[in-house]
Amino acid sequence: MPKSRNTFSSLTAWRRRIASRAVHGGWSWIKEAGAVTAEHPGKLRFGRIGSGTRLAFPQGTVFGERWIELGDHCIIGEQVTLTAGMMPGLDLGAEPILTLGNGVVLGRGSHVIADTTVTIGSDTYCGPYVYITSTNHSYDDPRQPVGKQWPRMEPVEIGPGCWLGTGAVVLPGARLGRNVVVAAGAVVRGEVPDHAVVAGAPARIVRTWDEENGWQPPLRTPAPVPIPEGVTPEQLLAVAELTPEEA
């Protein structure tokens, strides 16, 4: 009897391994087949989708694609929402409403809601669950449900080279300059100058940089040492493979 039980357990474990491999292999195939690119757009017809840009599967809510332009080599994570207009089926005119520059990264679960123009500059990286919107609820009449009052819209502009941390929120009318860092969970409204770091809710500037003074307040960690000129990728890989004793 113990031998039979062991045989049954081994057979069950073998079946689970086979099933697990099949499920993971099938899901990998589905994710690859369901990804959206310029060559394989599926049912989505963007105003532009650049070379090397990829929307991971499964996608979030996407509509108003005709007024959405995606630059080259963008990475759009799973379950990312991209919308132009308040609802599907609207005619939004001749110009794009939502524009992503080249090399933009939108992390998993992020939302970009463009009821009026939203522009995200090239090489801006967003962590997961970032929320960027050009629309906010109004609360003019305290006797009416907030959700039934007509919303207000203001354009949003995010400059190139920015970094938005996990869970950051960018509200209507926000204008972020070049190479701005938005801390995780920050809520941004208004104008943020170039080379600033903002944090908090509402976000405030906690660090700035300029040519004359550098970082103010000074960084708490030393600046990284640049890679010497002439070092090849093969040499860098060889260094990475060294053990602590060899280094």
- Please check whether residue 124 is in contact with residue 108, taking contact to mean a CB–CB distance below 8 angstroms: no
Report the candidate in 80, 86, 88, 101 with the shortest Cα–Cα distance to residue 45: 88
- Please check whether residue 189 is in contact with residue 132, taking contact to mean a CB–CB distance below 8 angstroms: no
What distances in angstroms separate CA 110 from CA 125, 148, 233, 246, one per listed residue?
11, 25, 34, 43
**Strand-pair partners of 215:** 209
Known active-site residue 73: no
CA atoms within 13 A on the CB side of 49: 20
- Please check whether residue 101 is in contact with residue 120, taking contact to mean a CB–CB distance below 8 angstroms: yes
- Cβ neighbors of 87 (< 8 A, separation 6 or more) are 63
Q: Which residue has the tokens 């990998």?
A: 28
Token digits for 71? 């630059």
Q: Report the C-alpha gap between 124 and 130 in whole angstroms.
A: 12
* Catalytic residue of the set 24, 40, 111, 137: 137
Catalytic positions are 137
